[in-house]
Amino acid sequence: MSSSSLEGVLGHLMFHKALIDESDRHQKLDRYLALAQTYEQGELVAPRDPVDKALQMVFDLVLSNNYDPWDIDLISFTDLYLRKMQQSEVNFIVAGKLVFMAWSILKMQSEEVLAANDEKQQLFCSDWDFDAIEDMFAADDVPCFAADVPEQIDLCEAVRHQSQRPVSLVELLDAFEEARADAEVAEARAKIREQMTRSDQKYDPRNHSEDLEKDVEMVWTRIMKCGNGPIVIDDIFCGGKEDRVTVFISLLFLARNGKIALWQDDLPYGQIFMEIKIPWDIGTLEDARAAAEAKQAPVM
């Protein structure tokens, strides 16, 4: 990967950033820039976010194949991208959306360059500025070609005869092999679709959210019983595998809502701890109540 291709990509992103005013697009482009800059800083850590991961793959391909960011050959790019995607564990839906997103971002240039030429504005000036962008906005009166071009230069294809022949045996058999393979794929797809329809029927999102609410409530009650300070999550489990899964998912939910903190000191198999984050007095802790009652009770 050459540094000039990285510069090209960064410059390209900056160029688009300079052109837009919607805040939503701004955020997107900032995200792309941040990702692209990790290449410059050499901090290549595989992102956890599936979208970032897929994005990183795009940049990887663009940079390692020296694509011109102004002119991505989408046919070869998509082909490479899909091949790479199959090798990595990338969410297919995200990746599919991303191919589309990358396409629309990178294809914008034609309209925008046109519009920019009409307006003749000095669009931006930054460290990322480079020749190609300057060229794009060069004044119209600068002659582009020294060459003189006759008005009606016209090319027309050579016309040749194309004989036709019947299909040969081998061709028929090859076709049959391919048809059989296609039908097998279609059959497998139909089966999966059927299975998904069946599981969709079982799945009722309302039941699911009601279940989750109940689970979280139950786990919260268990947490409350454990009192203040760090708690080993083993203390919250009481039952078999299913209970552990229910508890763990509820803990993730509570952590996401900011009610508890979850951490693990020794990766990857160490003990997981948690701690209640909300002010202590909100909780109705049975142990605390019990302690208070114990205080009030006459000393035997």
Partner 1 sequence: MDEPLRAIESVLFASSRPLRMAEIESATQLSPDIIRRAIVRLKKQYDDVGSSVEVVKIGVRYSMQLRKQYSNYGMPFAEVELPKDALKTAAFIAYNQPVLQSELAKSLGSEVYEHIKILRSANLITAKRSAHTFLLTTSKHFAEYFGIASSKKEDIKKWMDEQTKKQ
User: Nearest distance from residue 65's CB to partner 1, in Å?
Assistant: 11
Q: How many residues bind partner 1 (CB under 8 A)?
A: 59
Q: Is 139 in the site for partner 1 (CB under 8 A)?
A: no
Bond before 166 cis per omega within 30 degrees: no
Rounded to the nearest whole angstrom, what is the least distance from the CB of residue 159 to partner 1 in the complex? 4
Rounded to whole angstroms, how far apart are CA atoms 263 and 261? 7
In terms of Cβ atoms closer than 10 Å to its own Cβ (0-12, 13-18, 19+), residue 55 is: buried
Full DSSP string of 224-286: HHH-SS-EEGGGT--SSHHHHHHHHHHHHHHHHTTSEEEEESSTTTSPEEEEE-S-GGGS--H
Residue 43 or 141 having the CB closest to partner 1? 141
State the minimum distance, in angstroms, from the CB of residue 3 to partner 1.
13
Q: Least distance in Å: CB of 10 to partner 1?
A: 12
Stretch that binds partner 1, among 44-52, 57-65, 131-139, 233-241 (CB under 8 A): 131-139
Rounded to a whole number of angstroms, the minimum distance from the CB of residue 153 to partner 1 is: 5
Q: Where are the alpha helices (DSSP H) in 46-127?
A: 50-64, 74-87, 92-107, 109-119
Which of 234, 245, 229 has the alpha carbon at shortest distance from 287? 229
CA angle 153, 155, 159 (to 5 degrees): 155
Residues 161-190 that bind partner 1 (CB under 8 A): 161-173, 175-180, 182-183, 186-187, 190
For the record, the structure tokens of 142 come out as 């600068």
Binding segment toward partner 1, per CB under 8 A, in 108-116, 193-201, 228-236, 271-279: 108-116
Among 130, 248, 253, 273, binds partner 1 (CB under 8 A): 130
Q: Which of 49, 23, 15 is nearest to 35 (CA)?
A: 49
Whose Cβ is closer to partner 1: residue 107's or residue 214's? 107
Residues 40-79 that bind partner 1 (CB under 8 A): 66, 68, 70-71, 73-75
**For residue 274, which of 255, 261, 288, 287 has the smallest C-alpha distance?**
261
Residues making contact with partner 1 (CB under 8 A):
4, 8, 11, 66, 68, 70-71, 73-75, 109-111, 113-114, 130-132, 135-136, 138, 144-145, 147, 149-150, 152-173, 175-180, 182-183, 186-187, 190
